[in-house]
């Protein structure tokens, strides 16, 4: 399967649905500013990635490669594979 490159203009958004085991690569082409990212459980949108819960589970404010990013129910929703 070939990856499809989608460009999202500045100050805009894009929704992408991922299945379990799929990956997404997010690249900021303009400088070093962070890219805001939200994740929701497709089966229950009331469950979402939560930095507040992530920081408590990691006991750090900086996730590292391999860390599970967790939801407001403290369940893994994404894994940070690489941060360049």
Pick the more confident residue, 45 or 6. 45
Q: How many domains does the chain have?
A: 1
Residue 11 maps to a domain: no
Domain range spanning residue 45? Answer: 40-79
Nearby residues of 52 by Cβ (< 8 Å), 6 or more positions away: 72
Only one residue has tokens 């939801």, namely 71
**What is this structure's pTM?**
0.75
Q: Which of 69, 35, 66 is nearest to 50 (CA)?
A: 69
26-82 pLDDT per residue, tens:
878 777 777 788 899 999 999 999 988 988 888 888 889 999 999 999 999 999 988
How many Å apart are CA 48 and CA 75, to the nearest integer? 10
Residue 55 maps to a domain: yes
- Transcribe 18-29 into DSSP letters: --TT--------
- pLDDT of res. 45: 94
Residue 6 maps to a domain: no
Residue 9 maps to a domain: no
């Amino acid at each position: 399967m070939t990856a499809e490159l989608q460009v999202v203009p500045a100050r805009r958004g894009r929704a992408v649905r991922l299945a379990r085991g799929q990956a997404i690569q997010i690249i900021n082409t303009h400088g070093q500013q962070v890219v805001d990212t939200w994740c929701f459980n497709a089966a229950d949108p009331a469950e979402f990635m939560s930095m507040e819960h992530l920081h408590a589970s990691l006991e750090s404010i900086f996730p590292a490669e391999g860390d599970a990013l967790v939801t407001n129910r403290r369940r893994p929703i994404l894994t940070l594979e690489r941060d360049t």
